[in-house]
Amino acid sequence: MTALAHETLEAVMPKVTTSPSGLDDVLWQVWKAMELPEGYHAEIVEGFIEVSPTGRYSHGRIANRLRRALDTFLPRGEFAAYQDMNVIHHRKAWIPDLFISLDDAEEHVTEDGLGIDATAVQLIVEVVSPGSDNITRDRTRKRREYARAGIAVYVLIDDYDAGGTVTVLSAPDPESAVYQDEVRASYGTGTTIPSGPAKGFTIGEDVTGPGGTG
């Protein structure tokens, strides 16, 4: 958690007027009350509120290349790729770099309108940002969170792993919070989505570039 996160928590804690029964309830109320500076977003990941800045250029370039490619690949009118939207699961809140859900997902929007329920999400993609905390969050903490939520496919695009790798995780086991199947490939070799609405879609050099910053 960044220093900004600690400062924000201190600022909004007095606004929490409910009597929560547990940590998840406290974090949920705090998260909803947070007012962040432009260019920052907050997520609830494994019992912590984590504040992150908007991604750097290389990060955004990969995410947007992938979004455009998926927009062409996905069945028109049935599924769509989304960005900049909250995914909610049992008072956890994530803002993936990209995810796939139904194109018409109104019935899956949470009652408070804050985001889309994780049960309607078919695939999540995270593009790893630099820094040990960011890397650990995407590679480890979010990996567990997404498996725990039953997200069918989790794709990790990682500039900081051996010069650039794409890891495709599938077959989640929510009880143990692990993905049972994993395919990992270097940038430039192509990695194919195994199931779901994006089945057969290959993440290749046209999305990642020939290599990362390693």
Say what the pLDDT of residue 107 is: 87
Give yes or no for residue 23 having a pLDDT over 90: no
Give yes or no for residue 184 having a pLDDT over 80: yes
**Of 124, 61, 68, whose CA–CA distance to 98 is shortest?**
124
For residue range 40-61, what is the model confidence (pLDDT) as tens digits? 999 999 989 999 888 888 899 9
* Beta strands 116-117; 87-89: pairing state: parallel
**Can you tell me the distance from the alpha carbon of 61 to that of 56, in angstroms, rounded to the nearest whole number?**
9
User: Using 50, 70 and 90 to split pLDDT, how confident is the model at 89?
Assistant: very high
Say what the pLDDT of residue 214 is: 42
In percent, the amount of the chain with pLDDT more than 90 equals 70
Reduced to 3 states (helix: H, G, I; strand: E, B; else coil), residue 192 is strand
Which pair of tokens denotes residue 148?
Answer: 């725990």
For residue range 56-78, what is the model confidence (pLDDT) as tens digits? 888 999 999 999 999 999 988 79
For residue range 189-201, what is the model confidence (pLDDT) as tens digits? 999 999 999 999 9
Give yes or no for residue 130 having a pLDDT over 70: yes
Say what the pLDDT of residue 113 is: 86
Reduced to 3 states (helix: H, G, I; strand: E, B; else coil), residue 95 is coil
User: Using 50, 70 and 90 to split pLDDT, how confident is the model at 12?
Assistant: very low
In percent, the amount of the chain with pLDDT more than 70 equals 88
